Structure 1
Amino acid sequence: MDNGIIDIGLWRFIAAYAFILLLLLFVKLRGISREKQIIIASFRMTVQLIIAGYILTFIFGNPSPWLSLLIIFIMELFAILNIFKQVKYKLSKQLKGTAAVSMVIGTLSCLFYFNFVVIHFTPWYEPRYFIPITGMIVGNSMTGITLGLNTLLGGLKEQRELVEGALMLGATPKAASKKYVDDAFDSAILPTLNNMIGMGIIFLPGMMTGQILSGVSPLVAIEYQIVILLGIVGSVALTVILFIYLGYKFLFTDHAQLNV
């Protein structure tokens, strides 16, 4: 044990992959063609987390504002690229730019508010706080924009005739797309709201569980979990609002014609 945490050990660590074998067996028996994706996902997850562990060990031992900012830049870059990859529809340069700007402004605004007002850790770049909180905020905002984009573009494409009919009758692009914009926002924030509803009763979140396992008082862990979840809600909402209300105009031409 180290600081009250049980050392899993190599063989018990390997034994955890039995759950992957069980999943592979199930999809094989059911004829579901997911074996390759499951193996690749498991391998990538393992390699990426091991690499991240070594990197974080170095950063925690050598705290630097430049290293912390570099980590933020890398997180934001990969999140933005992942949004482009996960959206099922072709994105124009304007929509990509809007998504990128919304991600950066939304996440950084909430991150620094969280730092300087809510927790106020010092120094401001303290990696033990800064990096995990950044990861949670950026990751959830990325998911929000991805869901919002897919819902918005999917709704407009499926209901193209209704939208174009409204435009022909004199509706503005904003009015014609309002329902789909609202649906996109609802879709983006729903996973976070569901987590809030079930948290503490249905499941204990990972960060809180980790703190409790490391010996932190459950009450202190709960305080951190609540404020971080509120920060995530704010970041997801702000990021998606920025994207939707800045980006929807690029879905129409200068002559108010649907362009998706």
Structure 2
Amino acid sequence: MVKRSLPYQNKEGESILDKGIIDIELWRFIAAYVFVLLLLFIVKWRGISREKQIILASFRMTIQLIMAGYILTYIFDHPSPWLTIGIIVIMEAFAVRNIFKQVKYEMDKKLKGIAALSLLIGTLISLFYFNMVVIHFSPWYEPRYFIPIAGMIVGNSMTGITLGINTLLGGLKDQREKVEGALMLGATPKAASKKYVDNAFDAAILPTLNNMLGMGIIFLPGMMTGQILSGISPLVAIEYQIAILLGIVGSVALTVISFILMGYKQLFTRDAQLNV
């Protein structure tokens, strides 16, 4: 991309965006955990049994992010295509594992395989198109670009396909009689399940669409905020944010439609009977 000068200057002509990010002192960093204490106080006060989960989540989040910070520092200092490929493989593997854990309904091996394959298809196509065409950085495995973008695309696609699977399986189970009635009247599995397939796709993309509707007015997204804090012009940060959101939309759409097109057939037997 073409580098742009920072448009914001003070009276002396110095850029007010080139000051560098504020380094949080240790005690100030620790002070942020007061919000966890506040949450613990509220759940204790209201008699909600979430204390252990809150403490565990806070501890795991801290340890995992600190570890990720050291790992990314090493990778950024020693860029390698093999390290970058290794990171994306780990991301995809953990995303697939989380999908299987978060889906509330039982899936057989074939359906799990289709879910994993759909995630790979949607995320990798979108990721490489985004990196090669939209941003076009070099080398292609540059970890400072590749890894953060991959994390956003894979994470959002994981959420989308999980919502899609839960909505599809839940709809077919809850409306089994209607689906079976349509099959008995001569409808094909594709026609009998169309309403529930469409609902699943809609549920999968809705969170991303809602984010797009509120972005810039109701809230500023994390990527854009981070770039602004690091000294980048808000206009450049907006370009990146719009681009990555469009990439996420495409990835979620490809992931979910791939699962739907390949997966819905597995929910019916060869005799066109519902199998969920």
Indicate the TM-score class for this superposition, using the shorter chain for normalisation: over 0.9
Give the Å deviation of 1:37: 1.2
Q: Which residue of 1 aligns with 2:233?
A: 217
> Does structure 1 residue 115 correspond to structure 2 residue 99?
no
For 1:200 and 1:182, the matched residues in 2 are separated by 29
> Does structure 1 residue 10 correspond to structure 2 residue 26?
yes
For 1:247 and 1:3, the matched residues in 2 are separated by 52
Q: Which residue of 2 aligns with 1:61?
A: 77
Which letter maps to 1:137?
I
Q: Which residue of 1 aligns with 2:213?
A: 197
Which letter maps to 1:74?
I
When Rg is computed on C-alpha atoms for both structures, the one with the higher figure is 2
Give the Å deviation of 1:3: 6.0
For 2:65 and 2:123, the matched residues in 1 are separated by 23
Which of 181, 185, 208 is the aligned partner of 1:165? 181
For 1:157 and 1:18, the matched residues in 2 are separated by 44
Which of 89, 98, 105 is the aligned partner of 1:73? 89
For 1:18 and 1:204, the matched residues in 2 are separated by 23
Which of 105, 108, 111 is the aligned partner of 1:95? 111
Which letter maps to 2:24?
I
CA deviations over 1:179-203 (Å, ceiling 9, x no partner)? 1100000000000000000000000
Aligned length: 259
1:10-49 counterparts in 2 under 5 A? 10-49=26-65
Structure 1 residues 197-206 or 37-46, which shifts more?
37-46
Structure 1's 3 and 135: CA in aligned 2 closer, same or farther, altered over 3 A? farther
Give the Å deviation of 1:245: 1.2
CA deviations over 1:188-222 (Å, ceiling 9, x no partner)? 00000000000000000101001000100110000
For 2:44 and 2:269, the matched residues in 1 are separated by 48
TM-score, normalising length from structure 1?
0.98
Secondary structure at the residue paired with 1:177?
helix
CA deviations over 1:57-87 (Å, ceiling 9, x no partner)? 0000000000000000000000000000000
Higher fraction of helix: 1
Give the Å deviation of 1:32: 1.3
Give the Å deviation of 1:241: 0.4
Q: CA RMSD in A?
A: 1.0
Stretches of structure 2 lacking an aligned partner (at least 5 in a row):
1-17
Identity, in percent, stands at 82
TM-score, normalising length from structure 2?
0.92
Q: Which residue of 2 aligns with 1:155?
A: 171
Q: Which residue of 1 aligns with 2:149?
A: 133
Which of 72, 78, 84 is the aligned partner of 2:100? 84
Stretches of structure 1 lacking an aligned partner (at least 5 in a row):
none
